[in-house]
């Protein structure tokens, strides 16, 4: 916890080695057996900071953003093989994470912020005070969310599960702004012969036919948007969608 500039590259690398590359290593170890069995589930513990950012946790948030991208990409690649990859996004809970959080290694950079040098400590002092109250959230809520995902029937699990009252804006972001990547880029679908075939999404179609497609704040997970978009793509040489269209 601290000014992002004041953490050394070595510190950032050490954090990514655990939060991101550690997940990559475990996934590579487990995935071959899951693919062979045709079933499996990865529950990645991300964070609300994997979808939104706060000051003074820059490298941590960056590692969780990377994890989110990895988990969703994996879902697209191995979902057709029966293996699911989902994320849990906890908010702030009273655990040892804050006591174990690293401090900036470059004291000179911290001092150069002058009156703002102690801003991270002031910000998180309020968090620690809230954690000491009787109304502090229960970390077991995260465990319950993970158990619920494990017990859910295959094919019914949400890509992202938010846990905690403080990160409900993330839930709204996931609901309203999450692009259906399969519709946009494409996805593998089963064939009548028992194999798999890649079905193009909107962007490959647009590129192949020389169309330019610009999407700005459009929820492609909304069937109404797709219903309106597809007929236009079939006849128009260009299409621009902006927020509110």
Q: Which residues are catalytic?
A: 60
Q: What is the SS3 assignment for 31-74?
A: HHHHHHHCCEEEEEECCHHHCCCCCCCHHHHHHHHHHHHHHHHH
Count of other CB atoms within 10 angstroms of residue 165: 10
Token representation of residue 128: 């620690």
- Under DSSP, the state recorded for 82 is T
**How far, in Å, are 145, 154, 175 from residue 63 at the CA level?**
22, 28, 22
Q: Burial-class residue 27 by CB neighbours within 10 Å (0-12, 13-18, 19+).
A: middle
SS3 222: coil
| Residue in the structure block whose two tokens are 């400590």 | 121
CB 61 within 8 A of CB 53: yes
Nearest to 45 by CA among 67, 25, 29, 61: 67
């Amino acid at each position: 916890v601290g000014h992002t500039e004041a953490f050394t590259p070595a510190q950032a690398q050490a954090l990514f080695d655990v939060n991101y590359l550690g997940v990559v290593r475990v996934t590579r170890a487990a995935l071959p057996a899951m693919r062979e069995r045709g079933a499996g589930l990865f529950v990645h513990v991300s964070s609300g900071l994997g979808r939104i950012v706060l000051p003074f946790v820059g490298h941590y948030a960056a590692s969780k953003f990377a994890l989110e991208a990895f988990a969703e990409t994996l879902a697209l690649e191995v979902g057709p093989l029966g293996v699911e990859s989902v994320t849990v996004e906890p908010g702030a809970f009273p655990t040892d994470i804050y006591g174990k959080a690293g401090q900036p290694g470059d004291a000179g950079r911290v001092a150069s912020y002058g009156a703002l040098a102690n801003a991270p400590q002031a910000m998180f002092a309020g968090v620690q005070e809230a954690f000491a109250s009787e109304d502090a959230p229960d970390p077991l809520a995260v465990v319950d969310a993970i158990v619920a995902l494990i017990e859910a029937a295959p094919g019914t699990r949400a890509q992202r599960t938010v846990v905690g009252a403080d990160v409900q804006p993330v839930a709204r972001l996931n609901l309203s702004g999450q692009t259906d990547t399969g519709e946009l880029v494409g996805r593998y679908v089963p064939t009548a012969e028992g194999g798999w075939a890649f079905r193009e999404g909107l962007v490959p179609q647009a590129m192949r036919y020389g169309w330019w497609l610009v999407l700005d704040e459009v929820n492609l997970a909304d069937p109404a948007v797709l219903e309106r978009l597809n007929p236009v793509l079939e006849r128009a040489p260009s299409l621009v969608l902006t927020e509110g269209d």
